[in-house]
Amino acid sequence: MTAFLVTGGCGFIGPSLIARLLADRANIVRVIDDLSTGRVENLQRVAEIETVAAGALRPPRRRIQLAVGNITDAKLAEAACRDMDVVIHLAANTGVAPSIEDPRADCLSNVIGTFNYLEGARAAGVGRFVFASSGATVGECAPPIHELVPARPVSPYGASKLAGEAYCSAYARTFGLATVALRFGNVYGPGSEHKESVVAKFIRRAFAGQPLQIYGDGAQTRDFVYIDDLTRAIERASAADGVGGEVFQIATARETTVGELVEALSTALAAEGFPRPRIEFLDRRPGEVLRNFADTRKAAALLGWSAEVSLPEGLRRTVRWAAQAAKKVPAIS
């Protein structure tokens, strides 16, 4: 069994990942999170947690230990990595829009924060470091994007994630730390209610009876990957042999327009008894990539991973979960 440190474990991806790790490979999971967007309750849904002060980390007494703190704190990073076998670094500024509003804050969290945990992992002799990167590193290019496409980020968020990938590469090649950078597609699924990603926002608005807002004409494309597929990929990356220093696209290899997403979501909403949502078209946003989907053959070859959950099925599960979480019942028409 293995001791995992998961930064950013109280958000969307963290709790699902931790549930999977505890079921399969982890005896304990330590979480560092500043609760800026995450919530303790998200973790409490997974297992009983022990909360400790960031300045007083000790060997965990429960299966999940949480210390509230910021990843820009280098001393905390050093202490948090001690006695850990695997670090999974999820904590970050997670969006394009906030990175445009405040590029400095994005840089501090995503570049310095990642650097701190690589340094902590190196000092502690951690065996594996998995970094949550993003397709946004590559920027505007003719899709499908893959690991050999030259990266030219459009947004500060893409740039800061690319810097994280660069440090992962350097720590693998210079210090022998087995880093694996995973470029997630557009992740959706249960637990994403707080997110500003398109699926989460559309479901929130549909539940509130508000129109779904499309920036541009709806022809922009994304690669939507379901949370269970994603956490399975992270688990594989935390254990697979011979992948130190590598980068992987983790997505479905399917290109879906936002217009098609609206159709599929409307079907999933209808299956739960919700009326068809209205649509509102707004101006295109700066920094937004027009077409984006990934070639995932490298992950299939080296991690033995590919996505399994179809978009209609994933949306059905997500809508059902969100309706239960919000205690929403469809309006009687």
Ligand X SMILES: NC(=O)c1ccc[n+]([C@@H]2O[C@H](COP(=O)([O-])OP(=O)(O)OC[C@H]3O[C@@H](n4cnc5c(N)ncnc54)[C@H](O)[C@@H]3O)[C@@H](O)[C@H]2O)c1
Nearest approach in angstroms of CB 158 to ligand X is 10
167 annotated active-site: no
* Contacts of residue 265, Cβ cutoff 8 Å, sequence gap at least 6: 199, 202, 203, 206, 212, 277, 315, 319
Residues forming the site for ligand X (CB under 6 A): 8, 10-14, 33-38, 70-72, 90-92, 94, 109, 113, 132, 134, 184, 186-187, 195, 197
| Residue number with CB closer to ligand X (91 or 243) | 91
List 117, 157, 167, 226, catalytic entry: 157
Nearest approach in angstroms of CB 273 to ligand X is 27
Nearest approach in angstroms of CB 113 to ligand X is 5
Q: With beta carbons less than 8 A apart as the criterion, state whether 247 and 172 touch.
A: no
| Residue number with CB closer to ligand X (89 or 274) | 89
| Residue number with CB closer to ligand X (43 or 243) | 43
Closest CA to 271 of 305, 224, 316, 328: 316
| Residue number with CB closer to ligand X (8 or 120) | 8
Give catalytic residue positions. 157
